Structures are given as structure tokens and as C-alpha cells.
Structure 1
């Protein structure tokens, strides 16, 4: 039995005056029914684009988990700012292109957590991830998008 992770095409902020057609969720087939695992066609951070990978959509993860090569690109960007607030204002969004061409982005305001000090929490990398191109779309993804889980379809 398959399942479907339904990701809407509009961020929550744009839903106030949206039509019913605009609110139609976009289904993404699952690659692994043991997890809510989906195909990620590409990931873009600023001008840098990364190749395909696999990801899970997980309500129990408090941040985005990215492969170490994406983390290696983000680290110098955050090292160049003085505060978390400055990082949230200056860092680029992380844009996920999913199977079927549906894009979902997570702005720096969602993936940078911290206070006025320099102590920021942003994204993490898993040294023991199941694959080198593995992502976890955790809470920051849910803060911007309504995600429906439909295991029957």
C-alpha cells in the first residue's frame, strides 16, 4: 500500500484571499511507505544548486536536516554575520524542488533559530544518515506550509 504526502502550492501567508483552486494540495508519491519519504529533485541555496536526494517529511524533527555538502555551503554564509537576527535577514532561502516540479522554500527566518546573541541554531547534518543525499523536512518546513498526510491515497 502506497501513501501520499500532500504539499500545498501556496505558503500560509498567501492563503487568506486564495481561491479554492489555489488551495488544492499537490500530492507527492512516497518512495518508502515505512517513512513519509519523498523524492527531492534538487535543492538550491542562493545561487548554488545541489542534485537529487531523498527526504522525509517529519513532524517530530525540530529543524531541517541537510547533507554534509549542503551544510558545508551554509557554514561560511552564517560565519559572515554577527547576530542571528542579521543571519535571518541576510541568508538565502533553501528551495526544495520535489518530484513533479513542485517547489517548497524555507526562508532564513524559518531555519535560523536564536536570540540577539551570536548563538544560532539553523540546520543540522546527520553523520549516520541512511544516504549521503538525505534530507529531513522538519518543523521549519511546517511553519511555512500546511502539510497533509494521506496514507489511503
Structure 2
């Protein structure tokens, strides 16, 4: 099975200069925990509900004055829409992330695949990924 068959294709792309209040409202309205962040037609990071809590709320930063850029996770792991689901789950496991932007071969964002999406189609694959995603690590997870 290929990633495009299970991904969510309607995805907001957060601007790095928007406030975390705006990003949080998009997350709430779309019922998601992460948004890709794009600038100049390129993905530059991800903003997660965890980023907002640990880097803004915990530091008592004002949600109306704090930009996405200030708290987002930089660097983007991704997969291609024609990758197989097992490959996407391996990327998630390796980088200990639960959500993965999906791009086409022209490097345009076409969706996001989540561990939950994989679990609905390949429970064994998702369980294997979850073991690695949940393992203690020195780096912060998405």
C-alpha cells in the first residue's frame, strides 16, 4: 500500500511569522496536533501542540506575540506520496515522530500521514514503529 492511499490530503501550512495563537486555532479547528511550516514555497519545520506547550506556555510567552518560528521544530523529515507505508513507518521510527509530511516528486506538500493512519491499515507495521518512536531518546520528539 502506498502512502497517498492513507494520508490526510487537506493540510494547512503554517507561516513561520503567524502567531502560535493562530496556529493553535488551526490545530483545534482541524483536530490535529501538528502543522507543517512553510516559507518561500519550502517546508522549513513543523509546529506541534507539544512545541507550543513546552517552548511557549511553559516559558510564559504570550500566544498573541509569539511567532511559530520561535517555537517550531526545525528540519523536516518527510516521505513521498508513492512510498510504501512500511517505508514511511520506518522514517517515523528512525526519527521518533508520529506525523510525517508527504510530498510529491515535484517536492510539493500533498498531505500528512500519521502513525494512526498507518495503524488503521497495517497494525503490525504501526506497532513496530511505535516501539521505536516511544523509546527513550536524547532528542525532542514531535
TM-score clears 0.5:
no
In terms of fraction of residues, the more strand-rich structure is 1
TM-score range, shorter chain: under 0.3
Q: Which has the higher contact order (CA 8 A, sep 6+)?
A: 1
Higher-Rg member (1/2)? 1
